[in-house]
Amino acid sequence: MPKLEGRVAIVTGCGSQGPGWGNGKAIAVTLARHGATVFGIDNNPAAADETAGIIAGEGGRCVTATADVTNKAGVDAAVADCLDRFGRIDVLVNNVGHSLPGDPATMPEDVWDAQIAVNLKSAFLCTRAVLPVMEAQGKGAVVSIASTAAIRYTGKPQPGYAAAKAGLVQFSRVTAIDYARRGVRLNCVLPGLMETPLVEKLAADFASHETGTDRDAFYRRRHEQVPMGHMGEAWDVAEAVLFLASDTSKYITGTELLVDGGLCAAVRG
């Protein structure tokens, strides 16, 4: 069983976008359940505090910070806070992400820029901040949450999101090679169609673009697309992160772990 006792893990986007379990919330709780001290970062302090409360209620430890991870000053301050409190950083989970529909002919430039910032720049800034710490320790693991959209077209009009997540995958690959002999591993988890509070919020937007119908049709289509017959959940993503963050995967770097119910295997690309 993966163990993280004595490890300090930064999780960005550690809160949830609404009632239930989003990826960041499930990741933070899962890492804490396996012994990690969690330093959660979110731009919504109430959501972050909810996650911290769950961890504390289970006997774990979680400290939170409010920051915009697309802003270098905010990232640097949060990482410095983590170091001041715990003296080390063993795991970074780049979990922040958001998707907006559109196509290159109609998507406003500011929407494109925001998609690149939240899905790619945030991971660059956070990784940039922790790499010197992990290198000095001689060990560390960075796990970034990308998407199957990074490697396949899965039926959703989201060029900004897809391009950013593809960039995140390649950023992780090349950085993994650069740091392979310095003890730092970098890998990506690629979730497919998941049922999370964020997807609930996106349903109205994508329903009009994809199906022209309502939320139920949007969800029904997503379930039907997956070979297993249903969407995944945040816990599926969290368990994949746990594996890549722990020494169970100590000989794995520069790769991607699909968590998609067989979606990519069934989609040509």
Which residue has better confidence, 8 or 204?
Answer: 8
pLDDT digit string (tens) for 168-200? 999 999 999 999 999 999 999 999 988 887 777
Angle at 89 between CA 163 and CA 170, to 5 degrees: 20
Q: How confident is the model at residue 216 (pLDDT cuts 50, 70, 90)?
A: confident
Sheet with 184-191: list strands edge to edge: 61-66, 37-42, 8-12, 91-94, 140-145, 184-191, 256-259
Q: How confident is the model at residue 256 (pLDDT cuts 50, 70, 90)?
A: very high
Residues 3 and 243: their CA atoms lie apart, in Å, by 9
pLDDT digit string (tens) for 11-34? 999 999 888 999 999 999 999 999
The amino acid occupying position 22 is G
218, part of any domain: no
21, part of any domain: yes
State the pLDDT at residue 223.
86
Mean pLDDT for the stretch of residues 99-125: 94
Asked if the model's pLDDT at residue 221 lies above 90, the reply is no
122, part of any domain: yes
Residues 86 and 65: their CA atoms lie apart, in Å, by 14
144, part of any domain: yes
pLDDT digit string (tens) for 31-87? 999 999 999 999 999 999 999 999 999 999 999 999 999 999 999 999 999 999 999
222, part of any domain: no
Q: How confident is the model at residue 218 (pLDDT cuts 50, 70, 90)?
A: confident
The model scores a pTM over 0.75 = yes
Asked if the model's pLDDT at residue 118 lies above 70, the reply is yes
Q: How confident is the model at residue 225 (pLDDT cuts 50, 70, 90)?
A: confident
Q: What percent of the chain has pLDDT over 90?
A: 76
Residues serving a catalytic function are 161
245, part of any domain: yes
State the pLDDT at residue 18.
81
175, part of any domain: yes
Are 119 and 112 contacting, i.e. CB atoms less than 8 angstroms apart?
A: no
State the pLDDT at residue 19.
85
Range of the domain at 160: 8-194+233-256
User: What total of structural domains would you count in the chain?
Assistant: 1
178, part of any domain: yes
Query: Residue 155 sits in a domain of what CATH number?
Result: 3.40.50.720
Q: Which tokens is 230 given?
A: 């249903």
